[in-house]
Amino acid sequence: MLKKSLAAFIVVLGLLATGCALRTVALMPDYPVPTDADDLMATASAVIVGEVRSSSVAMAGENGAGWAETHATVLVQRVVKGDISAGQSVDVAEMGGQYRLTNYTTPTGILLKKGRTYLLFLNEGDGATRYLIMEPSSSAYPFDSTGQLTIEPMNQWVTLDDVKQVTGL
């Protein structure tokens, strides 16, 4: 027992000594940026209101050795556009997230949070229920605790009033 405890202590001490701090990798995705809310609506293959039920991070890219991608399981509450049904769960992928000891970030990424409800503008991914979030700061609008639609501070392209108008929310 003492040998196992000592070995575990040595491994932990070794990790601390080698600087096992979280490393950050800045990703620079080339997202198409909408010119306005009409453009955002026209280019989206689906627009939904849904609650994030869970999320996980996996490596994406060539043989899983490129960048981290966060996959959120979203329960669809309302469909504004697209071939999705209310009550259906969809996988929404977005670039970025923490994988092992590396935090992959994007300049406009927001990373959908479990338990929050969002208005999402999505593009089709690789599969019937997998979607990709469009340019994150202008494609994901959280609802606050009172049920009001809000806007991310880094959204520089589309106003909240315009989004409400094109979606009817």
Query: Does residue 8 fall inside a structural domain?
Result: no
The predicted-structure confidence for 144-165, as pLDDT tens digits, reads as follows 999 898 887 666 678 888 888 8
The pLDDT value given to residue 67: 79
The answer on pLDDT for 129 being more than 70 is no
Residue 79: domain span: 20-167
The larger pLDDT score, comparing residue 18 to residue 146, is at 146
The pLDDT value given to residue 87: 95
Strand-pairing partners, residue 58, are 69
The pLDDT value given to residue 157: 72
Query: Does residue 6 fall inside a structural domain?
Result: no
Query: Does residue 14 fall inside a structural domain?
Result: no
Whole-number mean pLDDT of the chain?
79
Query: Does residue 12 fall inside a structural domain?
Result: no
The pLDDT value given to residue 153: 66
The larger pLDDT score, comparing residue 107 to residue 24, is at 24
CATH number for 113: 2.40.50.120
Q: How far is Cα 137 from Cα 79, in angstroms, rounded to an integer?
A: 20
Query: Does residue 7 fall inside a structural domain?
Result: no
The answer on pLDDT for 17 being more than 60 is no
SS3 139: helix
Query: Does residue 109 fall inside a structural domain?
Result: yes
The pLDDT value given to residue 154: 64
What is the number of domains present in the chain? 1
Q: What's the pLDDT band for 11 if we cut at 50, 70, 90?
A: very low
Per-residue pLDDT, averaged over 33-55, amounts to: 90
CA distance readout (Å), 147 to 49, 99, 112, 128, 143: 12, 32, 17, 29, 5
Query: Does residue 50 fall inside a structural domain?
Result: yes
Q: What's the pLDDT band for 8 if we cut at 50, 70, 90?
A: very low
Query: Does residue 4 fall inside a structural domain?
Result: no
The predicted-structure confidence for 60-117, as pLDDT tens digits, reads as follows 777 656 778 888 999 999 999 998 999 999 999 888 788 888 888 777 667 888 999 9
Q: Tell me which amino acid residue 110 is.
A: I
